[in-house]
Amino acid sequence: MKALVLHEAGRLSIDDIEIEETLGPGDVRIAVHTVGICGSDVHYYTHGRIGNFIVREPMVLGHEASGTVIETGPDVTTLKPGDRVCMEPGVPDLGSRAALLGIYNLDPAVRFWATPPVHGCLRETVVHPARFTFRLPDNVAYDEGALMEPLSVGLQAATKARVRPGDTAVVSGCGTIGLVTALAARAGGCGKVIISDVIGPKLKLAADYGFLPVNLKEENLDEVVKRETDGWGADVVFEASGNDRAVAGVFGPLCPGGTVVFIGMPVEPVALDIVAAQAREARMETVFRYAHRYPRAIALVASGAVDVRPLVTDRYRFEDAVKAFEYAAHPEPRTVKTVIELQ
Ligand SMILES: [Zn+2]
């Protein structure tokens, strides 16, 4: 089948390759429709590795996907051919200790699309467990289906924050993850969401969503938060930038007794102001992907509580997938999510 294959850092091509995939009793075969390009896909393309995950063999990229079921295994009762679906890209060993504890995203044996050596989904068809394949309601489009993956990260963050109605949240970073976190925080009950970045067009999108944008080139985040909270501080700070300076200052806008959630991934270990955390008795949470957030992400999009469509800023056909990655590696400031359409 045709697939977008990463051979090594910087070398990407659409190849005709054989992928050995048998349809197990609980699996479905899916014709892939739309795939979002994630920062991790771009990083593998530009660097050939993320930390200890190194591309040693040619690997198909892509993990944010929707499609149409074309075949089902004999034990599948929840899906049928023709169903429009989105797919959760990480499949754990369901008998693992982590899975039994309900933290299957932390299963050391999890197989996650486009994480070496596992092939991703930028290809004509994939075989996937029905358990990790979710039907899209009629009013949810394929590109929205592909966005359920990052939105699930946002829901994981808002859930770990234990957002309460009326909370004020700060989101540091206005990329896809920052924006889906802001959307999840608001859907979870935050009354005010303040979002910071240095890129004007992204902050404009945040403002269109009704969030309060803070351009760090022009304003001091701590001062804005003080002004907006009568000097008290934000109940929750979501760190979604991975920027070392943002992490160093993460407790600045936080209220006493507040919560910080770390979502962004700094490339290197970074400094953290422990005394600033202690002075507030801050609760600290971390997020690694998500566990069982897809059904909730779909419910929020279907109900209209979350609109992810404005996040899709750029579209490419699969034939131009290499071009799409070249663009995504050096995007214009207005770009949030680039998607590739296979059908
Ligand atoms: Zn992703």
Q: What is the pLDDT along the chain (343 residues), one digit of tens a residue?
A: 999 999 999 999 999 999 989 999 999 999 999 999 999 999 999 999 998 899 999 999 999 999 999 999 999 999 999 999 999 999 999 999 999 999 999 999 999 999 999 999 999 999 999 999 999 999 999 999 999 999 999 999 999 999 999 999 999 999 999 999 999 999 999 999 999 999 999 999 999 999 999 999 999 999 999 999 999 999 999 999 999 999 999 999 999 999 999 999 998 999 999 999 999 999 999 999 999 999 999 999 999 999 999 999 999 999 999 999 999 999 999 999 999 999 9
DSSP state of 123: B
Output the CA 22–ligand 1 centroid distance in Å. 26
Output the CA 17–ligand 1 centroid distance in Å. 24
Mapping DSSP to helix (H, G, I), strand (E, B) and coil, where does residue 122 land? coil
Question: 253-258 long-range CB contacts below 8 Å, 24 or more apart?
Answer: 253/170, 253/194, 253/221, 253/222, 253/225, 253/226, 254/170, 254/280, 254/282, 255/229, 255/280, 256/232, 256/280, 256/281, 257/281, 257/282, 257/283, 258/233, 258/234, 258/282, 258/283
Output the CA 153–ligand 1 centroid distance in Å. 9
H-assigned helices in the chain:
39-47, 97-100, 142-146, 148-161, 176-187, 200-208, 221-228, 244-248, 274-279, 294-303, 321-329
Output the CA 147–ligand 1 centroid distance in Å. 9
- Smallest CA-to-CA distance from 172 within 258, 257, 263 is with 263
Pairing of strands 283-286, 254-262: parallel
Output the CA 233–ligand 1 centroid distance in Å. 31
Output the CA 245–ligand 1 centroid distance in Å. 23
Output the CA 261–ligand 1 centroid distance in Å. 18
Output the CA 3–ligand 1 centroid distance in Å. 18
User: Are residues 121 and 114 in contact, defined by beta-carbon separation less than 8 angstroms?
Assistant: yes
Output the CA 312–ligand 1 centroid distance in Å. 13
Output the CA 294–ligand 1 centroid distance in Å. 13
Output the CA 203–ligand 1 centroid distance in Å. 21
Amino acid in the structure at residue 242: G
Predicted confidence at residue 258, as pLDDT, reads 98
User: Are residues 147 and 121 in contact, defined by beta-carbon separation less than 8 angstroms?
Assistant: no
Output the CA 37–ligand 1 centroid distance in Å. 7
Query: CB within 8 A of 55, min separation 6: which ones?
Result: 6, 8, 9, 44, 48, 49, 116
Output the CA 26–ligand 1 centroid distance in Å. 25
Query: CB within 8 A of 133, min separation 6: which ones?
Result: 28, 30, 69, 79, 85, 86, 87, 88
Output the CA 177–ligand 1 centroid distance in Å. 9
Output the CA 255–ligand 1 centroid distance in Å. 31
Predicted confidence at residue 287, as pLDDT, reads 97
Whole-model pTM: value is 0.97
Biggest CA–CA distance in the chain, Å, is: 61
Between the CA of residue 61 and those of 18, 145, 158, 277, what are the distances in Å? 15, 18, 28, 39
Output the CA 141–ligand 1 centroid distance in Å. 18
Predicted confidence at residue 320, as pLDDT, reads 98
Output the CA 8–ligand 1 centroid distance in Å. 20
Output the CA 38–ligand 1 centroid distance in Å. 4
Output the CA 257–ligand 1 centroid distance in Å. 31
Predicted confidence at residue 51, as pLDDT, reads 86
User: Are residues 288 and 124 in contact, defined by beta-carbon separation less than 8 angstroms?
Assistant: no
Q: For the CA atoms of the chain, what is the radius of gyration? A: 20
Predicted confidence at residue 267, as pLDDT, reads 86
Output the CA 210–ligand 1 centroid distance in Å. 24
